[in-house]
Every structure is written in structure tokens, then in C-alpha cells.
Amino acid sequence: MSTRDKDAGRRAKKKKRQLDTFDSSLGGNSGELSSKTVLDDKERACLTKIESCCVIYNFLVPDSDVEKKEAKTKTLMEILQFVHERDGLIPEPIFAGIVKMFSVNIFRNLPPNENSDFDPEEDEQKFDPAWPHLHIVYEIFLRCVEFGHFKIDHGKKYLTEKFIFSFLEMFNAEDPRERDMLKTILHRIYAKIVMIRLYIRKQMNYIFYRYIYEQESFNGTAELLEICGSIINGFNLPLKEEHKDFFRRILLPLFKTNHLSVFHPQLIYCIVQFLEKDPKLTETAITQMLRYWPKTCSHKEVIFLAGVEEIFDVIEPNQFVKIEVPLFQQIAKCIVSPHFQVAERALYFWNNEYLLSLLNKHITTVMPIVFPSVYKAKDHWNKAIVALAYNVLKSFMEMDSELFDLLIQPYLKKKGDDSQSDSEPGNYSSGEDT
């Protein structure tokens, strides 16, 4: 064999090795792989497909690039099948390529929120026309991170702080299906990559803080709070000062935002989780809620009352003493609210057995505060309110009959004086002139 043929053979082998290897720069990481990864034929084909799926098409124009969109969707399904067959055992170059493909397709400029006053009970959800396509990209990435064979080292290397920052910003997407998928993936990332947890919490705090003080709305608040609920549940005791600051400076101020109705169940869950871990935070929670108590929005007032009742379920007797006076002063105002739903929700408190046990021990403090409002509510135009008011009066009488008699005497005396005044000669409250 001639020297020229030998050189040609060496060049061919070198070219084949280059095709069988992959530089880590595809995943957006400037560092190089510690060692070259050899890929088999299926893996090289998959890598080529991943690169082809980094091309973006405009789904807002349904008639444009129809064939190319269909071809890309088919290719994405083939990548998903490949990942599924490997059961998460995918080489580093493939994972790096998937991270890049995910970033290119998912991290995009979101359109401005057209309806800042969105109400999930009245307004229609807005769905992204590209979702059937984006959903496959999400599924591919989810399969990579959720399998038990997911390599933590790959996650540390490619799921960088820059990636997490862009990922969390996508929670502002209007399509609820996308936010739900983001939530699922973030759960997996937080659970598996310990070193990134602190940055995730800090970035979530920043998003909440920005929403409270700068932005009018943020679509993914409920989903992020749901993740926070799982995170709080895993906090060790005693709570760190960092966690208490999150409770005071982020969670409680969310009560004063305009879209509380969208995420209040998740917010209350987070607060209750904190109070179960540190009951001393109860006074802070109630005090701040009373500070932010709505003055003109009855719907929001009902939400606050529901939140208070959730707190009542976990409150400890020694903490109840600290908040009973200011809290029941507010509840007394709610009982005589002109909006019947607010009054009804406040009177429902007396159906809570644990609360009744607490009230029984502090009846001499609570009854004088709320009695005037309850007595007035028995004359309410709504029959349900009247029935609830009589039930509360009955419970008061059973708890402390002497105090009940003492408090009702002025009202009975006034009623007697009014009746006597009406019956005196020359006083005509009704009827015709004689």
C-alpha cells in the first residue's frame, strides 16, 4: 500500500471519529466534555434530528410552512420515542442537544398580557396555537429529567442559572397547559439537583416581589406557590431566618395584590404550612392580614375570611390569645356587612368545632365584641343569615348564660321602652286619623 493510500485511510478514520463525537458547546455550555463520548448509529441519527428541530416556525400564521411544521412534529415524536426507549439512559451529547433544543423552542418573548383583570371564573382561558408542537418539546425534556437513571452531573452542567432564569420567566405564559408542564418539570429539577435549589428559591422570590410591587399581574403565581408549598413542607426545624423572611416579605404581602382570587388556595396552603412548623408566626400572619383587609371588595373579603378559618384549624391556644381581640373586632364588622355573603361567611365560623372549643375558653373576651353585631344580624333580610345569627346566639347562651343575659338586657330594655312609647296616648305610629 502506498503512503498516499495510508494517509487517505487515516483521514477517513479520523473523520469517522469526529462524527462519533460531540462537543459540549451544543448544550450552551462553554466548557468541554471531560472525555469524548462515542455515539452509536441511532444516537448520531437522534442528534441530527435534535439539531434540525432547533428551527422555529410561526404558528400564529396557520397556513405558513405547513409541510415543514408537520415534518418537525414527526421528528420531535421520533426523538421522544428514542428517549422513552432509553429509559433515561441517554449519553451526555444527546442531553446537551435536548437542552439546547428546549431552550430554542421554549424560551421566547411572551406577548403582553391583554387582560390584566383576568378572572378564571368569568373570562375564557387563552390557549397558545403552538401548544400541540411545544407540548412534545416539553415531554422530551420531562422524560429526560424524571427517569431514575437521570445523571445529576449532566443536570449540574447544563441546567445552569441562566437556564433556570429563563425557565422561571416562562411561568408568565397565558396558556395554563404550558404553566402546568413547567410546574411539573420544575418539581423534578428541584428534587434532583440540590445545588440549584437556593438559586431557584431566590429567583422565585424575585418574581413574587416584582409582581407585588411592580407588575400588575403574573400568570404563573398559583403554579409557583404550589411549588413553594412542597418546598415549605420539606423545611427543617427550626426554620431559618431566610425562610421566615420569605413568609413575612413575600407570602403575606401577596394578600394585597389585585388577583388574589386566582391563587388564594395555594397561598393559604403555604401560610398554613409555615404556621404548623412555627406557631409563633401566627400573630404576624393575622396582623398582616388585618392590615391588608379589603375595604370595598366583598369577594376579596370572603377570601380573607376563608383564609382565617384555615388558620383557625391549626392555631394553638397560646397563640389564639394574642390575636383574639383585633381579629374578632374585624369579624364583628363582617357580620353586619351589607353584602350577605360576607356576613354568611363570618357567621359560619361558629360551625367550626375546634374554634368553638377555643371560644368556650375565651368567651368573656370574645362575646362582648361580637354580640352587638350578631344580635343585629337576626333582623337581616336574608333568611340564611337570620338562621345563622340565632344559632350563634344560642351557642353564646350555652357557653355563658350569665354573660349572655347581661349583654342582652340593654336590647330588651330598649325594645320595651320603644313598645311603651308607641302605646302612649298621642303617639301614632300607624293607622288613620280619627
Where is 294: in which H helix or E strand?
Answer: none
pLDDT at position 21 over 50: no
Give the rounded percent of residues in the chain with a pLDDT score beyond 70: 84
pLDDT of residue 20: 42
pLDDT at position 124 over 90: no
Specify burial of residue 315 (Cβ count, 10 A radius: 0-12, 13-18, 19+): buried
pLDDT at position 352 over 50: yes
Query: Helices marked H in 313-400 — which ranges?
Result: 317-335, 340-347, 353-361, 363-377, 383-399
**Nearest Cα to Cα of residue 165 among 202, 116, 123:** 202
pLDDT at position 184 over 50: yes
Q: For cell 344560642, what's the residue?
A: 394
pLDDT of residue 266: 96
| Domain residue spans of the chain | 290-419
> How far is residue 125's CA from residue 401's CA, in Å, rounded to a whole number?
54
Do 221 and 263 touch, CB atoms closer than 8 A?
A: yes
Q: Which band of pLDDT confidence, cut at 50, 70 and 90, is reported for residue 23?
A: very low
pLDDT of residue 425: 45
Least confident of 21-35, 158-172, 223-237, 306-320: 21-35
Q: Quick count: other Cβ atoms within 10 Å of Cβ 4? A: 8
> How far is residue 394's CA from residue 402's CA, in Å, rounded to a whole number?
13
Q: How far is CA 179 from CA 45, 54, 72, 174, 263, in A?
A: 31, 22, 23, 8, 14
pLDDT digits (tens, 9 = 90+) for 66-99: 888 889 999 999 999 998 888 767 888 899 999 9
pLDDT of residue 178: 95
pLDDT digits (tens, 9 = 90+) for 269-307: 999 999 999 999 999 999 999 999 998 899 999 999 999
pLDDT of residue 104: 94
